[in-house]
Structures are given as C-alpha cells and as structure tokens.
Amino acid sequence: MEMIRVEVWLYGPLARYAGEQSQGSYAELHLQLPVGSTMKVLQDRLGLPVEEKGITFINGRLAALPGLVVDQQVALHDGDRVGISHGQSMWPFQYRFGANLTPEVQETFREREDRGIHHAYTDPDESSSNLSDRQEEA
C-alpha cells in the first residue's frame, strides 16, 4: 500500500494523544498514512474525538474551528503539516480576517447568514447550559 508522511502538531491537552511523544503542552508526530487519507482518518488514527478538537490548520490554512468542523473530508497529501489545538483554546475572532482559509472554511463562511463573523460557533444554548453546569460545580 502506498503511504504518505504527515507532520502533526498537537497542542495543549491534545498532546496526550501522542502517547510517549508528548512533551506535556505539545507533541510533534511524523505519521505515515495510506494515500487518500483524510483528516477524519488522521483523527481516528490518533484516537482524537472530534469534540476535543479546536482550531485546526493544514499547511498554515485555517481548516476548522470549535463548532465549525468542516475538515473531516479534507484529503491529506505527502508532506502536509497539520496543527490541532484543543477546543478550549482561544483565538480572537478578529484574526480570522487575515487567516488563510481552506476552501471548505471559505465555503462554510459564505453560506452562513452571518458570514462567519461572531465569537463562537457553538450553540448559544449549549454554551450557556455548560456555563451553568460549571457555576453549579464551583
């Protein structure tokens, strides 16, 4: 089977999915995947639940955001570099305007009524219920 080599960087709590290669707050992996592999194949290989995945870059292009997971079918190629941050990582929305976007993110922003201009991509009701849960725990 023909393989591709992909460089993967996991940040924050996601570094634990690198096992012994974790450096605590980050991990750098060099993985071989079958030709035709997608981001979903990579995540499955890592055992990384989509719910934990946050800001994701492929070759420096924004590919996904928390609550805006549009990268699952993006095909990976030999030599690609993938960076995945934890879903709780913050990235000010203002910086998106200068970010290089994958076609999937561009299309999703174009299709949205708000054009992707807001602070969160999660359901506001879900976010407020999670906040209530956290406040009750405190």
Alpha-carbon 21 to chain mean position: 19
The pLDDT score that the predictor gives to residue 23 is 94
Q: What's the CATH number where 72 sits? A: 3.10.20.30
The pLDDT score that the predictor gives to residue 14 is 96
What are 63-120's pLDDT values in tens digits? 998 888 899 999 999 999 999 999 887 665 545 566 788 899 888 888 888 766 655 5
d(CA 124, CA 118): 12
Q: What is the CA radius of gyration of the chain?
A: 16
pLDDT-derived band of residue 21, with 50, 70 and 90 as boundaries?
Answer: very high
Please check the confidence at residue 38 and state whether its pLDDT lies above 60: yes
d(CA 6, CA 85): 17
pLDDT-derived band of residue 20, with 50, 70 and 90 as boundaries?
Answer: very high
Range of the domain at 96: 3-137
pTM score: 0.77
Per the structure, the count of domains in the chain is: 1
pLDDT-derived band of residue 134, with 50, 70 and 90 as boundaries?
Answer: very low
The pLDDT score that the predictor gives to residue 113 is 81
* Helix, strand, coil abundance in the chain, percent, nearest 5: 35, 30, 35
The pLDDT score that the predictor gives to residue 105 is 85
Alpha-carbon 97 to chain mean position: 18
| Percent of the chain whose pLDDT exceeds 70 | 76
